[in-house]
Amino acid sequence: MNVVAFPEPGGVWQSVSDQVLEQLGRDTSLARGLPNAAFTDGAFHELEKARLFSRTWSFAAPASSIGDPGDILSVEIAGHPLILVRGHDHEVRAFHNVCPHRGARLVTESRCSRTVLTCPYHAWSYGLDGVLKGRPHYHGHGRHQTACDMAGEDVRLFAVPCRQWHDWVFVNIDGKAPDFESFMAPVEEHFNGYDITQFRRSDQTMAVEFACNWKLAVENYCDFYHVFSVHPALDRMMSPQTRQSMRESGCHLLNGYAFTASGRGIAVDDSGPGLPSQEGIDADLELSTRYAVLFPNFAVNVYPGSIQAVLFEPLAADRTIMRMWFYYVGDAAHASAHAESRDALYREWVELNNEDKDICLRLQEGRACTAYDGGRLAPHWDRGTVHFHRQVAHAIRREGAFAEP
């Protein structure tokens, strides 16, 4: 009996067909990327939401955004409405934002603080751990049911597997992703030598809309091949000898470079913006940075004195919002003495992202060309691109690391 790993090729599934996988498995110089429809077709975008983002560990929000017990944050991940809740035990939990009774949306505010979660429809109430606490008028008018009357019942909110790594909360919507420790192991190794625990989130946030598919924004973000032509200021400060191409590890993409100037962050002046470096950092890391793009759409950039956490949020097949959160060492995240330095770094990221907006638009426009068949790829620079495309295909096909448990 033949077992089909995914629905028969045809229509939207053609973008991850066996032929596409074969082309992605070739040496980089002979490989072809995902077909144009994977970047332009609204039906493929919906397929990604249903199969890719549900099967992976997706970034949800900074844990510090729900810092106190009772804090609740509404988030949406690829069309899935969720809530993140800080419990009385200080643990962060994730639930589908729906009441199990009749399916009403449970929390309507984007952010709030509560001691219990009460459905607005019939006032069923749940603890911050998701367990049902009471059902008013459950047995008829005035005949309420409380927790002590629910022996043997197991009614609770629909939980979503939730894990925290430093200040970043990840969820797995279908509960079938690879175990979180294995997922994070390559990233932990990549950042070995940097002490991320010293960093605190500042009030700075950035949101930039790109007129392109989320995958093109991710690819561009970790591609250093375009720096010399698109980012001249950044190009001047990157050491040619240490400039790396994208390197794959697990399902992720890793990168990094060394500075030619003594600046912090991405500053190009000799003095830098004067941000304090993390304590105890090795001398060879004082003038370097490392990037990691965690599959599918979250990135972390670690510099000696700053960190940027980046989410590429898919809005449509041709629209992406890039959201950034900024971190600094200890008091530098909020102290007025470092306000000018934080602002200087922020402005540099604004400039850098503006330089990328037109390029990302051109990438999207190019996917309308029927002659383009996935690219003629540079073996030194594009190995990571091919790897990223393979992970997308495997996740949708539920193969490889994303196979059914």
Domain residue spans of the chain? 59-163, 178-368
* SS3 call for 37: helix
**If one looks up domain 178-368 in CATH, what number appears?**
3.90.380.10
Buried b (16+ CB within 10 A) or exposed e, 184-202: bebbeebbeebebebbbbb
| pTM of the predicted structure, to 2 decimals | 0.92
What is the predicted pLDDT for the residue at 286? 82
Residue 78: closest CA among 383, 371, 296, 227: 296
* SS3 call for 42: helix
What is the predicted pLDDT for the residue at 164? 98
The sign of the torsion formed by the CA atoms of 97, 102, 108, 113 equals negative
Q: Which residues pair with 352 in a beta bridge?
A: none
What is the predicted pLDDT for the residue at 228? 84
Whether the Cβ atoms of residue 107 and residue 71 lie closer than 8 Å to each other = no
What is the predicted pLDDT for the residue at 212? 98
Angle formed at CA 70 by CA 64 and CA 74, multiple of 5 degrees: 65
Sheet holding 252-258, edge to edge: 199-210, 319-329, 306-316, 298-302, 288-294, 252-258, 247-249
User: For residue 126, what are its two tokens?
Assistant: 């749940």
The length of the chain is 405
What is the predicted pLDDT for the residue at 269? 44
Whether the Cβ atoms of residue 244 and residue 237 lie closer than 8 Å to each other = no
Query: For each of the chain's 405 residues, which pLDDT tens digit applies?
Result: 344 456 666 788 999 999 999 999 999 999 999 999 999 999 999 999 999 999 999 999 999 999 999 999 999 998 999 999 999 999 999 999 999 999 999 999 999 999 999 999 999 999 999 999 988 877 788 777 776 666 667 789 999 999 999 999 999 999 999 999 999 999 999 999 999 999 999 999 999 999 999 999 999 998 888 888 998 888 777 777 666 678 899 999 999 888 776 444 454 444 445 789 999 988 878 888 899 999 999 999 999 999 999 999 999 999 999 999 999 999 999 999 999 999 999 999 999 999 999 999 999 999 999 999 999 999 989 999 999 999 999 999 999 999 988
d(CA 174, CA 189): 27
Angle formed at CA 96 by CA 204 and CA 105, multiple of 5 degrees: 95
What is the predicted pLDDT for the residue at 6? 62
What is the predicted pLDDT for the residue at 105? 96
What is the predicted pLDDT for the residue at 1? 39
Fold of the domain built from segment(s) 59-163: Rieske Iron-sulfur Protein (2.102.10)
What is the predicted pLDDT for the residue at 232? 83
What is the predicted pLDDT for the residue at 249? 93
What is the predicted pLDDT for the residue at 143? 74
